[in-house]
Amino acid sequence: MLSESTVTRAVLVCASISVSILLLYGASGSPSFLSSGYSFNFLPSLLGGSSDSEFSLEKILKEAAMEDKTVIITTLNEAWAAPNTVIDLFLESFRTGQGTRRLLNHLVIVALDQKAYRRCLEVHAHCFALVTRGLDFRHEAYFMTDVYLEMMWRRIDFLRSLLELGYNFVFTDADIMWFRDPFPRFFLDADFQIACDQFSGNSSDMQNRPNGGFNYVKSSSRSIEFYKFWYSSRKTYPGYHDQDVLNFIKFDPLIERLGLKMRFLDTAFFGGLCEPSKDLNLVCTMHANCCYGLDNKLHDLRIMLQDWKTFLSLPPTLKRSLSMSWRVPQTCSLNSVHQYDSPEKSDQQTLHR
């Protein structure tokens, strides 16, 4: 039988080796995330945190949620997290919008890599680190590449997990400017409502062309099963991104059997560069969609934000009477929405949603 002193020494040696390995792993520059597939917990010891529980998804959601358990979610990678780029413009829009500053209290930024997480901690209160083993989401995701597709599908699966935890969410791409509180414009009876690249004028028309960069989803058995079906349909339509697959499955009989009520959001309130909101007295959000390349996005987003500030500076009478229009798109092209279906261009195009 081993003596007590021998057992104690063995335990100390094992502990020492474990700590050394952990420190070497952190020093090597490897991603400091716990993951098997993809992870819902960040390893805080390498960032000076005190415990894993402090970074748990449920804790962050609980802190950020509205009274009805609704959260606003966006995702962020290193390319969009750099200073004076997309994330700064995104947050600035909340601060300058009408009735939107308070919504920052309910915004959770989901970081897809370590640098994005560190930057999030510098600029926002609610940050969550999510990583996918074996994939590098740090840089611009070139449109329709394997990394782009994996990023989009991981997002769908992650959002499904929020619904299963009982949270409603507004998902918003970070290249969407929030100019007004959108909640008064949402449909009260819809399970799933989504912005459009092109809007037909009828919120129930399945021929509307949805854009996955902005949607409001209420947690229910219907929405959970819908997200599971959406995610599993990636195998039915291999090589397509989530937005295209949604266009396929929105006609599926399963949607009716689930009893899911789907509505499409009017571009008069939820516009984008594909189809801009025409009245600045009505606009809630504007998306830099139909746009390829980070520099092009940033150029037009800055002009868009400046147009909004100019509008706000006008006297009330002028706001109502003046027919003021956006000065965008400029470097972004309205033809882009028709171009992204072209496979031969996919290696040159960057994330447009």
Residue carrying structure tokens 């470097």: 331
176 lies in a domain?
yes
Query: How much is the pTM?
Result: 0.80
Burial letters for 98-116: b for 16+ Cβ neighbours within 10 Å, e otherwise?
eebeebbebbbbbbbbbbb
Q: Which amino acid is at 231?
A: Y
256 lies in a domain?
yes
1 lies in a domain?
no
165 lies in a domain?
yes
25 lies in a domain?
no
Burial letters for 197-221: b for 16+ Cβ neighbours within 10 Å, e otherwise?
bebeeebeeeebebbbbbbbbbbbe
Are the C-beta atoms of 57 and 128 separated by less than 8 Å? yes
Q: Residue 336: which domain range?
A: 38-345
Query: How is residue 241 written in tokens?
Result: 């991104």
Distance CA 96, CA 88 (A): 12
Q: How high is the pLDDT of residue 220?
A: 98
- Count of domains in the chain? 1
Q: How high is the pLDDT of residue 221?
A: 98
Q: How high is the pLDDT of residue 23?
A: 35
Look up the CATH number of the domain holding residue 304. Answer: 3.90.550.10
32 lies in a domain?
no
- Mean pLDDT, consecutive 10-residue stretches, the chain (353 aa), reads 50 43 34 34 38 70 98 96 97 98 98 94 96 50 55 90 98 98 98 97 97 97 98 93 94 97 98 95 96 94 97 91 87 60 35 41
